[in-house]
Amino acid sequence: ELKVEQNPLFLSMQEGKNYTIYCNYSTTSDRLYWYRQDPGKSLESLFVLLSNGAVKQEGRLMASLDTKARLSTLHITAAVHDLSATYFCAVEVTRGGADGLTFGKGTHLIIQP
Amino acid sequence: KAGVTQTPRYLIKTRGQQVTLSCSPISGHRSVSWYQQTPGQGLQFLFEYFSETQRNKGNFPGRFSGRQFSNSRSEMNVSTLELGDSALYLCASSRAGRNDGGYTFGSGTRLTVV
């Protein structure tokens, strides 16, 4: 059974600081996704990582994927309050020809002024 | 372009009743998958449909079912509702198969069972 573990699950940080969220998964994966969720809202796609060594950046967020280590990271640079949200990583493994996502439990991020 | 549309947005049902939720994917997307989100269990995969066929199913009881129509719109049905079925139900659409675009989620249907 595929397991996806995120850490930390809760993170409180100050504006201007840097931090990294880690996502470990237990089996070979086809691809990995990062999503953001604001309270009461749906999931907003942040990054799709398709291959080993993939690195993508959008604003203050950068995601990377190491398929050999089965590890993805989401790095936050010079955090601002607007980045406060819950961040999920999700791993996609093709099962019987069909795709499905297995999510981590999410990292609840609070950025304080 | 229009996103993924889920209806209704909110629903209150009584234990024992059944409920049907609807999801219209992005135009051109042929795959629709459903997820349940609860505070305790997080986001869990329910099932995925492609070309009117269920291709994969998560670990949920048979009370949870779904279907997909020829226009790719999908419905999921939960029969004999239990209090534990209270959750945010999200559907996601994708082009299908191995694609670089990933999954786009709808706004969800929040179901409350009383």
Q: Is A24 exposed, middle or buried (0-12, 13-18, 19+ CB in 10 A)?
A: middle
Report percent pLDDT > 90 for chain A: 77
Give me Rg for the CA atoms of chain A: 14
Cα→Cα distances B93→B32, B61, B101, B104, B113, Å: 5, 23, 10, 5, 26
Q: What is the C-alpha separation between B85 and B42, in angstroms, rounded?
A: 13
Minimum Cα–Cα distance from A48: chain B residue:
B102
Residue type at B8 in one-letter notation: P
Partner residue facing A48 (CB), from B33, B100, B107: B100
User: What is the per-residue pLDDT across A1-51, written as a single tens digit (0 to 9) for each?
Assistant: 789 999 999 999 999 999 999 999 998 876 899 999 999 899 999 999 988
From the candidates A43, A65, A89, A91, which should be mutated to test the interface with B, based on the most B CB atoms within 10 A? A43
User: What is the per-residue pLDDT across B72-107, written as a single tens digit (0 to 9) for each?
Assistant: 999 999 999 999 999 999 999 988 655 566 899 999
Q: What is the C-alpha separation between B12 and B93, in angstroms, rounded?
A: 25
